[in-house]
Amino acid sequence: MDRRKAADVSLTNVLFDTVASEASRYRSGIGQRPQRPEHTYPDALAAFAAPTPEAGTPAEDVIHDLVQRASPGLHATTGPRFFGWVIGASHPVGVAADWLTSAWGQNAGNHTASPAAAAAETVSAGWLLDLLDLPREASVGFVTGATVANFVCLAAARSEVLRRAGWDVERSGLFGAPPIHVLIGDEAHTTVFSALQFLGLGSGRVIRIEADSQGRMRPDAFARALARCQGPAIVITQAGHLNTGAFDDHSVFVPQARAQGAWVHVDGAFGLWARACPARAHLGAGIEGADSWATDGHKWLQTPYDCGYAMVRDADAHRRAMTSAASYLPGIGEGERDPSHYVPELSRRARGFATWAMLRHLGREGVARMVEEHCLLAQRLAERLAGEPGIRIVNDVVLNQVIVRFGPDEPVADGDGLTLRTIRRIQEDATLFAGGAKWQGEWVMRLSVISAATTQADIDRSAEAILTAWRDVRSSG
Ligand SMILES: *Cc1c(COP(=O)(O)O)cnc(C)c1O
C-alpha cells in the first residue's frame, strides 16, 4: 500500500471508531438526559451559523465539531420517556444495520446496482405482508415514511380508477380526465391531504365524511356519501388515529366501497401494526380487503429514520404509477425486482437492510409482544392519570395513544389555559416529553407510547411527573 492509501484507511478507521463510541456514549446516557433539547431552534442555529467554508477542515475535526454543535439541540426521542407525536425509538439493531447501509453506499435503485439491497427488500416485503396479514401478492415500495407511502398508494389508485374509466393518466395527465370522487374522514391525518395535493386530486375538493368523538367515520354519513358517487372513486380510511388510536370500521366500509367499484386506501402509519398483534388484531379486522395500505417502519417497527412502506394489492397499477423507463437502465427478467419501480425515486437508500434486521431481531413474537406491551402501558398511564381530580382521559384507550384534558369541567378557554400551562410545566421539568394537540376544538395533551425503550417504571415515573405538574398548575390558580 502506498502512503496515501494507508493514510485513507487509517482515517476511515479512526472516523468510524470515533463515531461508534460517540453514538454508544449518547445512547447509553439517554435515560439520564432531560427529555427535552437544551437548545431552542435559534440557539441551535447560532451554534451552526458560520460563513461558507473557504478552506477545508480535517475530517476528525469536522466530526468532533458536529457533535459539539449538534448535541445541545438534540431531542432525546430515543429516550424511554419520550411520548411526543408518534415517534419510534431507532432501535440499536436497526441503527447498526443502517450504519452498514451508509458505509456500504449501495444505490438501491435497481437490482444490478445492488443485488443484496434488492434482495433484502424482496424478502422483507414478504415478511411484512405476512406479519400484517395482507394479500401476499401485494407489491411493496420502500419509501421515506407514511406521507410518501400514502402518495404512492394514491398514485396507484388514481391510475387504476381512471384506467377502468378508459383514461391513461400516466400518459395524458389529469386535464380532461373523468373526475374522481375522493371520500375521506373528517379527522384524517394531514399528510393524506398533502398526498392528494401532490397528485392533482386537490386537498379541498374531497368529500369529507363526518367523524365521531374518536375520529372514526360515521357509517351513516359514509353510506350516504358513497351512494351519491357515480364513476371513479377512491375511499381513504384510517387505521390508528394520531390522537385517539381509533380505527375506522373496515369490516363495514371496505365491502361497501368495493361493491361500488371504489378503490380503498388505508392510512395505517402506526395502527396497521395492530394486525401483527393477536391481542389487538380485532381493531384492524377487514383491512385485508382494501386495495392499498401505507405504514411506517420508523414508528412501531423502530427502524431508524426514514422508513415507510407503500403496499398495493394490484402490483401492475403500482408499477404503472411509479415506473420510469430509460435505455441506460437495466431491464428486469422474470422473478427479478427493481426497487425503484415501486417508489418515486431512482437513486435511493437501501431501506431493506434495516427493515430486514428489525424483523429478524424481533420476529413475529417480538413484534406482537412489543405492540401489546405499549398498549398495556398506555392503559396503565391513562388509569393513573384518570384517578386525579381535574384530569380527564378524552379518548377510549384502545391502542397506544392517550389524550388528556386538564380542567375538563371549566369553560373551554379556561380548560385550554390549564391544559397548555400543564404541558409547558411538564416540558420544563423534562422527566418526560409530551406535546399538545387541538382535538375537536379543545386543547389536549397527547401521549404516544411507542418506544422500545419504555418500561413500566418509566410509565409510573412519568405519571408522577404529570400529576405533580398538574397539582402545581391547579394550586397556582
Ligand atoms: C405519522 C403519520 C403519518 C405520516 O407519516 P410520516 O412517517 O411522518 O411521513 C400519516 N398518517 C398517520 C396516521 C400518522 O400517524
CA–CA distance, 86 with 450 (Å, rounded to integer): 7
CA–CA distance, 369 with 219 (Å, rounded to integer): 32
Sheet holding 139-143, edge to edge: 139-143, 308-312, 292-296, 263-267, 233-238, 181-185, 207-209
Bridge pairing between strands 292-296 and 401-406: unpaired
Handedness of CA 408, 409, 414, 418 (dihedral sign): negative
Q: Which atom of ligand 1 is nearest to the CA of 270?
A: 15
**What integer is the mean pLDDT of 419-429?**
98
pLDDT of 178 reads: 97
pLDDT of 2 reads: 72
Q: Which of 29-33, 334-338, 435-439 has the lowest mean pLDDT?
A: 334-338
Ligand 1 proximity of 296 Cβ (cutoff 6 Å): yes
Query: Would the pTM of this model clear 0.85, i.e. be above it?
Result: yes
Ligand 1 proximity of 242 Cβ (cutoff 6 Å): yes
Q: Which atom of ligand 1 is nearest to the CA of 148?
A: 9
CA–CA distance, 360 with 226 (Å, rounded to integer): 42
Handedness of CA 167, 170, 176, 178 (dihedral sign): positive
Which residues lie below 8 Å from residue 205, measured CB to CB, with a gap of 6+? Answer: 182
pLDDT in tens, 125-173: 999 999 999 999 999 999 999 999 999 999 999 999 999 999 999 999 9
For each of the domains in the chain, give its residue range(s) and CATH number, in order of start.
13-80 (1.20.1340), 97-359 (3.40.640.10)
Q: How confident is the model at residue 337 (pLDDT cuts 50, 70, 90)?
A: confident
The one-character DSSP state at 108 is T
Residue 318, SS3 per DSSP: helix
pLDDT of 328 over the 90 cut: no
Q: Cα 208–209–212 angle (5° rounding)? A: 130
Ligand 1 proximity of 239 Cβ (cutoff 6 Å): no
Q: How confident is the model at residue 326 (pLDDT cuts 50, 70, 90)?
A: low
CA–CA distance, 399 with 371 (Å, rounded to integer): 9
C-alpha radius of gyration, the chain, whole number? 24
Ligand 1 proximity of 93 Cβ (cutoff 6 Å): no
- Rounded to whole angstroms, what are the CA distances from 388 to 410, 460, 463? 15, 14, 11
- 358 touches 91 (CB < 8 A): yes
pLDDT of 327 over the 60 cut: no
Ligand 1 proximity of 297 Cβ (cutoff 6 Å): no
Residue 445, SS3 per DSSP: strand
Q: Which atom of ligand 1 is nearest to the CA of 306?
A: 7
Q: How confident is the model at residue 9 (pLDDT cuts 50, 70, 90)?
A: confident
pLDDT in tens, 167-193: 999 999 999 999 999 999 999 999 999
Residue 22, SS3 per DSSP: helix
- The three cell numbers of residue 178 are 373523468
| Residue bearing cell 434495516 | 354
Residue 111, SS3 per DSSP: coil
pLDDT of 331 reads: 63
pLDDT of 332 reads: 67
| Neighbouring-strand partners of residue 125 | none
Handedness of CA 208, 210, 215, 218 (dihedral sign): negative
| Residue bearing cell 413484534 | 367
- 234 touches 258 (CB < 8 A): no
pLDDT of 58 reads: 95
Q: How confident is the model at residue 325 (pLDDT cuts 50, 70, 90)?
A: low
Residue 291, SS3 per DSSP: coil
Ligand 1 proximity of 191 Cβ (cutoff 6 Å): yes
CA–CA distance, 183 with 405 (Å, rounded to integer): 31
pLDDT of 477 over the 90 cut: no
pLDDT of 162 reads: 98
pLDDT of 141 reads: 98
pLDDT of 256 over the 80 cut: yes
Backbone angles phi, psi at 216, to 5 degrees: -90, 145
Name the closest-CA residue to atom 1, ligand 1: 269
**What integer is the mean pLDDT of 264-278?**
98
Ligand 1 proximity of 421 Cβ (cutoff 6 Å): no
pLDDT greater at residue 8 or residue 24: 24
- 296 touches 242 (CB < 8 A): no
Mean pLDDT score of the chain, rounded to an integer? 95
